[in-house]
Amino acid sequence: MLNAAPLGVRTNMIQVLPKIVVWVFLIGIVYVVFGPQAFDSSNRGNPLNNSSSPLFLPPAKSERLMVYERRLLVGELQPDELAEYEALSREHQGGFWEGKETSVEEALSGVKNNRSEHLASILGERGLSKEEQSIFFTVLKRDQPAVLEDRE
């Protein structure tokens, strides 16, 4: 009786073994249907990582929107101005997705050195805050890191 496992261990094995078989079967079906790329975590097949799609510069902020943002930052925006600020902000943010202005590559086409600094000055002229610029650079470095490299 030294080889016999306790009754509770055998019962647990009987319950666990069918679950393992079902999971192996399901993973096998996914592999057969979708192929090995179903388990590829390198994002090579991800259509969102397509580097051929250009990244556009964000639209310039209107002077009125920049004034409202400065006043909001210091807490001087009046409640009656809040609705207009929100409308201007929504309009500006909606322009990010249109992509009908200049692409980043076009904006940096003649620049060979210090491309990041030049792009930062363009974004500053368009009214983007340091936080917004940081987010833009994060996306740009993730999606198209070669755009910011110096060219000589």
**Could you tell me the pTM of the whole model?**
0.59
Question: Vertex 89, ends 86 and 90: CA angle to 5°?
Answer: 85
Three-state SS string over 32-56 comes to HHHCHHHHCCCCCCCHHHCCCCCCE
In order of 44, 69, 70, 110, the CA distances from 127 in angstroms are 35, 10, 11, 22
For 152, the 3-state DSSP assignment is coil
Residues ≥6 apart with Cβ < 8 Å to 120: 133, 137
Cβ atoms of 67 and 18 closer than 8 Å: no
Give the residue from 100, 25, 92, 30 showing the smallest Cα distance to 65. 92
Cβ atoms of 108 and 118 closer than 8 Å: yes
pLDDT in tens, the chain (152 residues): 455 556 666 777 788 888 888 888 888 888 788 777 666 665 555 555 545 577 888 888 889 999 998 998 898 888 888 889 999 988 888 776 666 678 888 888 888 888 899 999 999 998 888 988 999 899 888 888 888 888 76
Backbone angles phi, psi at 37, to 5 degrees: -70, -15
